[in-house]
């Protein structure tokens, strides 16, 4: 029974003039089948072998291997029976770089022998025609069992303890900046001998070319400026400081002279100025001693004694008193722990000791505050400040202001601020130096701008803008004038 649109039972009869199996032979001169196309199928059915089975089989046994470039294999004869599964040879045209022969079932039944299955593999030693390989090289995969590093999903908020420079979510600790944070960089190809020629020409004759001095010194780092002093004396036999002081005046002179000093010499000179005379600049002493490293403090002490004939400790002791003197002497030892690791349990113990020495007792044990603030490392103290706030619900600075007074209060608060955020501490110092009603504290302004220009001036500028809503560059421009302003703006490095 058949249905409209479907082939009759048993299939369609063979069409006259057709090729066996409906396949067309390849045309002469044509292109080979493209890679990735359908396989070439050669099929021989029993219908086409009715009369000339032996002759067709003989021809096929020669044609198929030749198509594949394989040696001819003779099929035993006479052939008695070809199973109805038919002869089929397919040649896949995919990009494997090799010709492959696959036969679904190719069984030849011969007289006096059992069935023989022809393998699709060539004989050993047969050279197959090569084709260019287009196989894609896959990326290497890790060995089984290898633990791969986990990565957070996009948009995942990391805990604060994993961010650089933040200790367990402490909001008081600033992120540690990476790379060079100074505003002045080395001038390529700078030569002290050529530089002193520019200075000499700027000071020689009638008048002084201040712009030439500003352009020269404002584009040299400390290590490029300091050698000019010796080069000037070598070339001209004169003292550069004396010549500059004779040609320049006022704050511009003080700024230029400070820029030609080594950092250690400048700090020692500033401490000397802060101590000598009728009064003492306590803020200057705290600023220098709390922000310098152990090695820098030891160098300052050594130079102070050689230049002024007195130890730094003796100079401090003779000009200060009480707990403030103890604080300065402790800082001047240069013996602070400088390890970067933090022991959380020890930080909690120190926070408890500070609480017991201040807020939790009648009176104040300043010695405990002195011992903790002057001996512990700065990363450790940031952890202590955090634990203290968690413990008593009050910032350590406010507790110090409640428990202490006078110079010791301002000194310890300054130490805490400098340890918490050094850049913010100097931003506040600069703002106070320019915001006083009686005028600018130029000595403070000069000292900070020169000493921090190659350390963290970029961070100070950021903190200044964050704290006061306008840039440090703008404030300096409005508070100073003339050549003094031009040189300060060179040290500032730009507007924000």
Question: All domains of the chain, ordered by start, with CATH?
Answer: 20-117 (no CATH), 192-248 (1.10.220.10), 263-332 (1.10.220.10), 336-418 (1.10.220.10), 421-496 (1.10.220.10)
Higher-confidence residue of 178 and 307: namely: 307
pLDDT tier at 361, thresholds 50, 70, 90? confident
| Mean pLDDT calculated for residue range 197-208 | 93
Q: What is the pLDDT of residue 144?
A: 60
Burial class (CB in 10 A: 0-12, 13-18, 19+), 450: buried
Percent of the chain past pLDDT 70, that is, above it, reads 64
Tokens of 257: 């002279």
pLDDT tier at 378, thresholds 50, 70, 90? very high
pLDDT tier at 165, thresholds 50, 70, 90? very low
Q: Provide the β-strand partners of residue 247.
A: none
Please check the confidence at residue 484 and state whether its pLDDT lies above 80.
Answer: yes
Summarize pLDDT for 31-42 with one digit per residue, the tens.
Answer: 454 444 444 444
Q: What is the mean pLDDT of the chain?
A: 78
Q: What is the pLDDT of residue 150?
A: 53
Of 405, 411, 403, the residue nearest 326 (C-alpha): 411
| Mean pLDDT calculated for residue range 172-178 | 50
Pairing of strands 79-81, 107-110: antiparallel
Q: What is the pLDDT of residue 63?
A: 59
Burial class (CB in 10 A: 0-12, 13-18, 19+), 37: exposed
Q: What is the pLDDT of residue 278?
A: 74
pLDDT tier at 277, thresholds 50, 70, 90? confident
Of 450, 416, 412, the residue nearest 269 (C-alpha): 450
Q: How many angstroms from the chain centroid is the CA of residue 429? A: 30
- 3-class SS string, the chain: CCCCCCCCCCCCCCCCCCCHHHCCCCCCCCCCCCCCCCCEEEEECHHHHCCCHHHHHHHHHHHHHHHHCCCCCCCCCCEEECCCCCEEEEECCCCCCCCCCECCCCEEEECCCCCEECCCCCCCCCCCCCCCCCCCCCCCCCCCCCCCCCCCCCCCCCCHHHCCCCCCCCCCCCCCCCCCCCCCCCCCCCCHHHHHHHHHHHHCCCCCCHHHHHHHHCCCCHHHHCHHHHHHHHHHCCCHHHHHHHHCCHHHHHHHHHHCCCHHHHHHHHHHHHHCCCCCCHHHHHHHHHHCCHHHHHHHHHHHHHHHCCCHHHHHHHHCCHHHHHHHHHHHCCCCCCCCCCCHHHHHHHHHHHHHHCCCCCCCCHHHHHHHHHHCCHHHHHHHHHHHHHHHCCCHHHHHHHHCCHHHHHHHHHHHHHHHCHHHHHHHHHHHHHHCCCCCCHHHHHHHHHHHCCCCHHHHHHHHHHHHCCCHHHHHHHHCCHHHHHHHHHHHCCCC
Please check the confidence at residue 337 and state whether its pLDDT lies above 80.
Answer: yes
Under 8 Å between Cβ of 487 and 210: no
Q: What is the pLDDT of residue 95?
A: 41
pTM greater than 0.85 (yes/no): no
| Mean pLDDT calculated for residue range 261-275 | 97
Tokens of 72: 């001819």
Under 8 Å between Cβ of 33 and 25: no
Please check the confidence at residue 50 and state whether its pLDDT lies above 60.
Answer: no
Tokens of 299: 């160098």
| Mean pLDDT calculated for residue range 360-387 | 94
Q: At what angle do helices 282-291 and 422-435 cross, to 10 degrees?
A: 160
Q: What is the pLDDT of residue 210?
A: 97
Under 8 Å between Cβ of 461 and 431: no
Please check the confidence at residue 107 and state whether its pLDDT lies above 80.
Answer: no
Dist. CA 230–CA 153, nearest whole Å = 59
Q: What is the pLDDT of residue 440?
A: 80
Higher-confidence residue of 463 and 144: namely: 463
The alpha carbons of the chain give a radius of gyration, in whole angstroms, of 45
CA distances from 396 to 123, 176, 416, 428 (A): 89, 22, 8, 18
Q: Which residue has the tokens 């059915």?
A: 45
| Mean pLDDT calculated for residue range 215-227 | 97
Q: What is the pLDDT of residue 284?
A: 97
Of 88, 86, 60, the residue nearest 75 (C-alpha): 60
Higher-confidence residue of 96 and 314: namely: 314
Q: What is the pLDDT of residue 169?
A: 40
Please check the confidence at residue 152 and state whether its pLDDT lies above 70.
Answer: no
Q: What is the pLDDT of residue 441?
A: 93
Please check the confidence at residue 149 and state whether its pLDDT lies above 90.
Answer: no
Q: Which residue has the tokens 């023989």?
A: 116
Please check the confidence at residue 166 and state whether its pLDDT lies above 60.
Answer: no
Q: What is the pLDDT of residue 119?
A: 42
Dist. CA 315–CA 284, nearest whole Å = 14
pLDDT tier at 11, thresholds 50, 70, 90? low
Please check the confidence at residue 62 and state whether its pLDDT lies above 70.
Answer: no
Please check the confidence at residue 24 and state whether its pLDDT lies above 90.
Answer: no
Please check the confidence at residue 106 and state whether its pLDDT lies above 70.
Answer: no
Instruction: Mean pLDDT check: name the lowest of 3-12, 31-40, 64-73, 216-225.
Output: 31-40
């Amino acid at each position: 029974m058949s249905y409209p649109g479907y082939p009759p039972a048993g299939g369609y009869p063979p069409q006259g003039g057709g090729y066996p199996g409906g396949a067309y032979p390849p045309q002469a001169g044509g292109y080979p089948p493209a890679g990735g196309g359908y396989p070439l199928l050669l099929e021989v059915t029993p219908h086409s072998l009715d009369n000339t089975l032996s002759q067709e089989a003989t021809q096929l046994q020669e044609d198929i291997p030749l198509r594949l470039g394989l040696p001819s294999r003779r099929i035993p004869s006479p052939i008695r029976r070809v199973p109805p599964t038919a002869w089929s040879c397919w040649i896949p045209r995919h990009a494997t770089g090799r010709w492959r022969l696959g036969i679904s079932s190719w069984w030849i039944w011969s007289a006096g022998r059992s069935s023989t299955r022809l393998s699709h593999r060539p004989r050993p030693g047969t050279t197959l025609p090569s084709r260019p390989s287009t196989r894609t090289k896959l990326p290497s995969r890790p060995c089984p069992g290898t633990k791969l590093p986990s990565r957070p999903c996009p948009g995942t908020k990391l805990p604060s303890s994993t961010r650089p420079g933040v200790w367990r979510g402490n909001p008081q600790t600033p992120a540690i900046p990476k790379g060079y944070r100074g505003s002045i960089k080395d001038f390529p190809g700078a030569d002290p001998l050529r530089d002193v020629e520019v200075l000499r020409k700027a000071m020689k004759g009638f008048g002084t070319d201040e712009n030439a001095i500003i352009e020269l010194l404002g584009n040299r780092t400390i290590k490029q400026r300091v050698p000019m002093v010796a080069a000037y004396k070598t070339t001209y036999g004169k003292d550069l400081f004396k010549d500059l002081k004779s040609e320049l005046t006022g704050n511009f002179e003080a700024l230029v002279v400070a820029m030609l000093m080594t950092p250690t010499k400048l700090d020692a000179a500033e401490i000397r100025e802060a101590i000598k005379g009728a009064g003492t600049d306590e803020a200057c002493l705290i600023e220098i001693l709390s922000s310098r490293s152990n090695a820098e403090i030891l160098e300052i002490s050594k130079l102070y004694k050689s230049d002024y004939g007195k130890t730094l400790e003796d100079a401090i002791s003779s000009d200060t008193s009480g707990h403030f003197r103890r604080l300065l002497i402790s800082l001047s030892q240069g013996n602070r722990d400088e390890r970067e690791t933090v022991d959380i349990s020890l930080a909690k113990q120190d926070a408890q000791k500070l609480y017991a020495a201040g807020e939790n007792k009648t009176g104040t044990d300043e010695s405990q505050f002195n011992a903790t603030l002057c001996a512990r490392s700065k990363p450790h103290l940031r952890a202590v400040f955090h634990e203290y706030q968690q413990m008593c619900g009050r910032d350590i600075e406010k507790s110090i202001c409640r428990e202490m007074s006078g110079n010791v209060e301002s000194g310890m608060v300054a130490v805490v601020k400098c340890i918490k955020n050094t850049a913010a501490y100097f931003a506040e110092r600069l703002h106070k130096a320019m915001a006083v009603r009686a005028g600018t504290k130029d000595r403070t302004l000069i000292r900070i701008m020169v000493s921090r220009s190659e350390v963290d001036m970029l961070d100070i500028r950021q903190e200044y803008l964050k704290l006061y809503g306008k840039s440090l560059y703008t404030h300096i421009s409005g508070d100073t004038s003339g050549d003094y302003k031009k040189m300060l703006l060179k040290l500032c490095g730009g507007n924000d």
